[in-house]
A and B are shown apart, each in its own frame.
Chain A
Amino acid sequence: MAVVEERPAEEIEHELEEVWEDAPGIPGFFATVDHKRIGMRYIYTAFIFFFIAGLQALFIRAQLTVPEADVVGPETYNQLFTMHGTTMIFLFNTPVLAGFGNYLLPLQLGTRDMAFPRLNAFSYWVFVLAGMFMYTSYLVGAPPDGGWFAYLPLTDKVNSPGINLDFWGLGVIFVGISTTVGAINFIVTTFKLRAPGMSINRLPLFVWSILAMAFMIIFAVPAVTVAAALLEADRLFGTAFFDVARGGSALLYQHLFWFWGHPEVYILFVPAVGMVSMMIPVFSRRAVSGYVWAAGSLVAIAFISFGVWVHHMFAAGLPALAMSFFSAASLVIAIPSGVLFFVWIATMWQGQVRWTTPMLFSFGFLFIFLAGGLTGVMVSVLPFDWQVTDSYFIVAHFHYVLNGAVVFPIFGALYFWLPKMTGRMLSERLGRLSFWSMFVGFNVAFFPMHVLGLFGMPRRVYTYAEGLGWETLNVVVTAGSLLFGLGTLLTVVAWVMSRSRGAPAGDNPWDADSLEWAVASPTPHYNFRAIPVVASRHPLWDQQPLPEAMSGDDEGTRSMGTPGALADETPITTGLDAGAEETMEIPRETYLPFLLALGLAVFFTGLLVEAVVVGVAGVVVATIGLLWWAWRTEADLV
């Protein structure tokens, strides 16, 4: 150990880079298991889907700007809103948050990678292949058109005979694999790979939010997988789970879908809250107020989110008494949200706010989420929901919470954390412009929708008649959506310009408190030369200089210092107190995750085209991948 310490820092860092660097070029591209590369890939890929979904939204608005328009026909329109929703939920929001989680979690926890790096790579490959799978539907001219929740019997083989819905059903099952393994990875990483001293009450709030998200995923995603699997069984194999004529139940599907669908809203929202809860304290120059309140609220939301799904079915004719319980539970979820508001207010109140772009986006989030939360309380009131469900009021409400309260924090997070990822700051000037354009555009686009809904405009209509009093507001909505779209493009410009002209970020450009800011920007491949020793909830504010662990001789500490990093190792610590426990070997580059994901893609394609040979080929490839994976535990390139 002493020998290592005596060598100059540059030499050690060079050696570390050599150990941790991916193979150059194509092989490294497909074989990498580096959480940072995977995390950024997640973010970039998800943003490609974001702009596709945004384009779809603009086509929707083009069609709805004036009554009786004929920009796209009803068929195309139905495909547009189906794929807009599906893309935003499955291919943008969920994966982009997984991307931030992937990049940031190991850094904030003070470790060198995720607990299962190969599983992490697998999760990304499944996501991107599932996205391509769903979008292949456009290439063959048969995009899904059953709405993003694909209610039966509209989506059964009788009412939707085409292949369209199979792209959706199989795609949902496929992408669910990615989400699930990602969640397992987040949970294990959080509990077992924390830097020594980072006891559970010192977790950054973003980690709490990812943890809550991961637990929700573990319990919720199986329900949608079952819903989609039974849908596909009905469609492909002629079973009758949802076929009323043969004793099935159409509402069973709705229960299964929303048992996932409502927690999913919080799966997206909770990490966004986590991001805001990191940014607000940093830009208030103050530790978060009521840390325990905030962490507790995130966990409480995760629990309550499983007791509210029926509020999506208030008009389906369920017994009023049963619905009253779900109505009450839906009201209760406002309390942890209320607590979070007062946590943020108390933090800013006792601090000194700096108006940076990430803070502006957080601020925009506060006002948008406040409105979306209040309409959320309204729609959980049973009789009122009977009026507004499936109307534009609901479209307004869920865009306030899912676009406003999730996308705004994500854009803030781009300005906040991209400098860590790329090493370059984004332009503050463009950031402000982008924010104001998005914020004004957002409210102009979505606020009038509340009124449209109250005035009787149902959602998912491809056109509407003149003289119903909906004309003016629809023009306003379209204008707002253009401004919002422009705002998002300005951030793309800011990102492109930062690559060549951005100011170097340095280690900690925002004077933030969590461990990701202790390393260089962009983060070196090995993350930490030596694992930091944590003694505070805000290590970078309270522990200057940040102490580094030394490698000891025992199994628990041998990987903590630089020798551990040189040996591709990272320490495992105890679940609650993060005391030294064991050492884990970090696997190196491998094609196996890609191979396994590819096998699954082939398998799902086989189901899609109902070709047994293709399906079997997929299973064979996937099985080979799995067995090989199980066999080769040693860490080397395939």
Chain B
Amino acid sequence: MAAALVVGACGSGSPSALDPKGPASERIAQVWWLMLALAVAVYLVVGALILLSSRRKRAAEEGDRRLPLSENAFIWVGGVAVPTAILLVLAVVTVSSTAELTQADDDPLRIEVEGFKWWWEVRYPDADVVTANEIHVPAGRPVEIELTSADVIHSFWVPELAGKVDLVPGQRNVLRLTADEPGEYRGQCAEFCGIQHARMAFLVIADEPTAFEDWIERHRAPPPDPPAGPAAEGERIFESTSCAGCHTIRGTSARGTSGPDLSDFGSRRTLGAALVENNRGNLGGWIVNAQALKPGNLMPPVSLEPDELQALIAYLESRR
């Protein structure tokens, strides 16, 4: 069993709760290692007692059949006293770690995340910035994420940073996390939410604080001038076809709200809710037939002439 753990721990690239990258997940990992140690100890002791008790006894060992204590005392000590002591330790650990993890921070960065089938809308209420599926945070600064859902229950889980909290319609839940170091942390929906539950992932991107300020500033600045060249044609296509019915792009007439806001699409690392890398090929494939990449998702296939598609891609990639 320990071997399995070690083998697994070496499997790099996992969004692992055992590889904490922030104080919340760090605290929980500490609780885990303590409990694992206790559990292994209990397993070994009780397991040894089971094996010992079941060994074949020779007639000569008749006397050995006596328990080390009286029967009642044996059950009392093993079944009640020792477990109670261990559980009391765990109760104290539970209460103290819960208090720690639910404590509000001074001056946290506030972010709102709303779950949709099967993607995440991300809002920075203090900066009036809206994006999707990629959550930029400043490294080292506490973040308070307010979670809700537009449709069914989802669950927000970034194992490297914190435990999970559900997104429940009609309810605003709060998750507190801090990313100690800049980096990219993978998150995924953890509550079954329908056909594409498996592909409702997202990224938390922790930037250097100054880089984060730049990012926010770029997003809150007035929308860029209307593009030139093929991107201009792309914008016209976006506004005049079905795209605009579901998606919003700031500074244009596209005001749809049932799909992700695409105002900064060109600067995103992934598409399809952290499904694939955001590059021209994947984007083209996604626009033409998103069902092939993520069957059952709510984006219908879009039929465009090749040059129209190229223009649309150029436009979306220009939105940064």
Contact = CB atoms under 8 A, between A and B. Distances in A.
Nearest to A466: B13
Nearest to B98: A382
A350 B157 contact: no
Contacts of A332: 87
Given A159-B152, A289-B71, A381-B31, A390 B190 contact: yes
Interface in A125-181: 146-147, 151, 153-154, 159
Contact of B79 (A338, A382, A447): A338
Contacts of B101: 383, 386
Interface stretch (B45-53, B202-210, B218-226, B252-260): B45-53
A324 interface: yes
A470 B14 contact: yes
Nearest to B82: A338
B255 to A, nearest CB: 22
Interface stretch (A183-191, A312-320, A562-570, A579-587): A312-320
A308 interface: no
A64 B83 CA distance: 38
Interface residues of B, number: 92
A327 interface: yes
A228 B278 CA distance: 43
Contacts of B190: 315, 389-391, 458-459
Most buried by B among A73, A151, A323, A447: A151
A381 B173 contact: no
B215 interface: no
Contacts of A71: none
Given A346-B67, A374-B42, A339 B75 contact: yes
A335 B83 contact: yes
Most buried by A among B13, B67, B95, B168: B168
A246 to B, nearest CB: 10
Given A335-B87, A363-B54, A386-B165, A346 B43 contact: no
A386 to B, nearest CB: 2
A454 B16 contact: yes
B72 A290 contact: yes
B96 to A, nearest CB: 10
A344 B42 CA distance: 16
A24 interface: no
Contacts of B166: 315-317
Given A366-B50, A456-B159, A341 B67 contact: no
A353 B56 contact: yes
A331 interface: yes
B43 A468 contact: no
Interface in B141-181: 147, 151-153, 155, 157, 159-160, 162-166, 168-171, 173-174
B175 to A, nearest CB: 9
A334 B170 contact: no
B170 A335 contact: no
A290 B160 CA distance: 46
A547 B114 CA distance: 73
B97 interface: yes
Most buried by B among A75, A386, A389: A386
Interface in A370-417: 370-371, 374-375, 377-378, 381-391
Nearest to B74: A346
Contact of A73 (B157, B189, B295): B295
A351 interface: yes
Contacts of A159: 117, 151-152, 194
Interface string A330-354: 0110110011111111101111110
B75 A388 contact: no
A238 to B, nearest CB: 18
A530 B30 CA distance: 64
Nearest to B35: A378
Interface string A249-269: 111000000000000000000
B164 A327 contact: no
Interface stretch (B3-11, B125-133, B231-239, B305-313): B3-11
Interface in A286-305: 289-290, 293
A147 B194 CA distance: 9
Nearest to B29: A387
B223 to A, nearest CB: 33
B182 interface: no
A385 B195 CA distance: 25
A469 B169 contact: no
Contacts of A612: none
Contact of A387 (B5, B25, B54): B25
B15 interface: yes
A510 interface: no
Contacts of A320: 98-99, 102
Interface in B11-68: 11-18, 25, 27-28, 31-32, 35, 39, 42-43, 46-47, 49-50, 52-57, 65-67
A455 B15 contact: yes
A317 B74 contact: no
Nearest to B163: A386
Given A154-B194, A334-B87, A341-B79, A447 B165 contact: no
Contacts of B28: 383-384, 386-387
Contact of B84 (A335, A348, A462): A335
A442 B140 CA distance: 43
Contact of A448 (B4, B15, B18): B4
Contacts of A390: 155, 157, 164, 190-192
B12 A469 contact: yes
Contacts of A342: 74-75, 78-79
Interface string B98-112: 110110000000000
A473 interface: yes
B257 to A, nearest CB: 16
B79 A339 contact: yes
B295 A74 contact: yes
B101 to A, nearest CB: 6
A476 B254 CA distance: 49
A146 B66 CA distance: 54
A386 B190 CA distance: 11
A472 B11 contact: yes
Interface string A235-249: 000000000110001
Nearest to B152: A154
A74 B295 CA distance: 8
Given A153-B169, A159-B194, A458 B188 contact: yes
B299 interface: no
A389 B166 CA distance: 11
Interface string A104-122: 0000000000000000000
Given A75-B296, A467-B13, A469-B11, A153 B151 contact: yes
Contact of A383 (B42, B94, B188): B94
Given A74-B198, A383-B94, A455 B163 contact: no
Given A154-B193, A371-B43, A383-B97, A455 B11 contact: yes
B54 A348 contact: yes
Nearest to A293: B75
Given A293-B75, A456-B15, A469-B13, A316 B194 contact: no
Nearest to B64: A349
A382 B169 contact: no
B170 A250 contact: yes
Contacts of B170: 244-245, 249-250
Contacts of A317: 147, 165-166, 168, 171, 173-174
Listed from nearest, the 7 A-B pairs whose CB atoms lie closest are: A386-B163, A469-B11, A317-B173, A339-B79, A469-B14, A244-B170, A461-B198
Given A151-B153, A346-B74, A465-B201, 7 more contacts: A159-B117, A316-B173, A350-B66, A352-B57, A387-B25, A390-B190, A469-B16
Interface of B: 1, 4-5, 7-8, 11-18, 25, 27-28, 31-32, 35, 39, 42-43, 46-47, 49-50, 52-57, 65-67, 71-72, 74-75, 78-80, 82-84, 87, 90-91, 93-95, 97-99, 101-102, 117, 147, 151-153, 155, 157, 159-160, 162-166, 168-171, 173-174, 186, 188-199, 201, 295-296
